[in-house]
């Protein structure tokens, strides 16, 4: 069982918006503004999409946005495109003993 | 151009020790405040953080696997090595190395991963 809880799957039609949640505790998500999100296509390595809760690396479309409230972080993808279909993982810093923890992953299906 | 590449055995037997190597390029392990983590992913399952080595050679391990893991680096070879003892079929996974800057908390570059199967 992963440290952070994500929905197993979400879906949306092209052009719509979807939000993926990532729930932790006050020891990880709630305790630090260090949540990152990764996109993983089948057979590929994860790719950084969001860091420090809401910052986007250069090259990541602004359709991807992140936020956090309490112990839950969220990734929102607006204007869904077919290429967004992938698995998404959240990751949070969890202190100088546990360091980093991942979520269980969410499969995004573009209908 | 930053790259990381994992290498090691494709198949190991139960109870054996796994040794994986991550060879990096485009940055130095000895300075620039760069660290490297090992992360694994069983087939069809989630990512799991295993271990990390900081630029100052400080090391950290997953609490659940700490007794079986050792991470080290050879800066002259630009390599980070992970050993995992007493391998079991449940350790079958794709093993990734990924870069994280000291003081930061996100992985900006990942290796392609290497699939390790544990079977007799």
Residues 6+ apart with CB under 8 A from A62: A56
Q: In this predicted structure, what is the pLDDT of residue B49? A: 96
Candidate from B46, B60, B112 with C-beta closest to A102: B46
User: To the nearest whole angstrom, how far is the Cα of B16 from the nearest Cα of chain A?
Assistant: 25
CB pairs under 8 A between A and B: 60
CA-wise closest residue to B82 among B90, B73, B91: B73
Q: Average per-residue pLDDT in chain B? A: 95
Q: What is the DSSP letter of A14?
A: T
Report the C-alpha gap between A92 and A3 in whole angstroms: 9
Cβ separation A100–B96 shorter than 8 A: no
Our CA dihedral for B86, B3, B28, B23, rounded to 10 degrees, sits at 30
Q: In this predicted structure, what is the pLDDT of residue A37? A: 98
Write out the E strands in A13-99: 18-23, 35-40, 47-50, 64-69, 72-77, 86-93
CB distance from B99 to chain A under 8 Å? no
Q: In this predicted structure, what is the pLDDT of residue B30? A: 81
Cβ separation B107–A52 shorter than 8 A: no
User: To the nearest whole angstrom, how far is the Cα of A42 from the nearest Cα of chain B?
Assistant: 10
For B80, what's the count of Cα atoms within 13 Å in the CB-facing half-sphere? 31
B-contacting residues of A 70-109, CB under 8 Å? 89, 91-93, 96-105
Per-residue pLDDT for chain A (111 aa), expressed as one digit of tens each?
A: 668 999 999 999 999 999 999 999 999 999 999 999 999 999 999 999 999 999 999 999 999 999 999 999 999 999 999 999 999 999 999 998 889 999 999 999 999
Continuous segment of H or E residues that includes residue B93? strand B93-101
B-contacting residues of A 46-65, CB under 8 Å? 46-48, 51-52, 57
Residue range B26-79, pLDDT digits in tens? 998 887 789 999 999 999 999 999 999 999 999 999 999 999 999 999 999 999
């Amino acid at each position: 069982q992963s440290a952070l809880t994500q929905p197993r799957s979400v879906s949306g039609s092209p052009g719509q918006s979807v939000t993926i949640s990532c729930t932790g505790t006050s020891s990880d998500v709630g305790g630090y503004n260090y949540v990152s999100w990764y996109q993983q296509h089948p057979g590929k390595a994860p790719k950084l999409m969001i860091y420090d809760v809401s910052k986007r690396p250069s090259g990541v479309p602004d359709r991807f946005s992140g936020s956090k409230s309490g112990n839950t972080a969220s990734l929102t993808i607006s204007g869904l495109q077919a290429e967004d279909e992938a698995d998404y993982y959240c990751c949070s810093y969890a202190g100088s003993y546990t360091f980093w923890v991942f979520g269980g992953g969410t499969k995004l299906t573009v209908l | 151009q930053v790259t990381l590449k994992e290498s090691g055995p494709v198949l190991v037997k139960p109870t054996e020790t796994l040794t994986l190597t991550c060879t990096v390029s485009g940055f130095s392990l000895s300075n620039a405040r760069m660290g490297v983590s090992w992360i694994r992913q069983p087939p069809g399952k989630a990512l799991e953080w295993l271990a990390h080595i900081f630029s100052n050679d400080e090391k950290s391990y997953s609490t659940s696997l700490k007794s079986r893991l050792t991470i080290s680096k050879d800066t002259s070879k630009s390599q980070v090595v992970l050993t995992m003892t007493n391998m079991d079929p449940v350790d079958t996974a794709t093993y990734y190395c990924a870069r994280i800057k000291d003081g930061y908390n996100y992985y900006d570059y990942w290796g392609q991963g290497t699939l390790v199967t544990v079977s007799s």
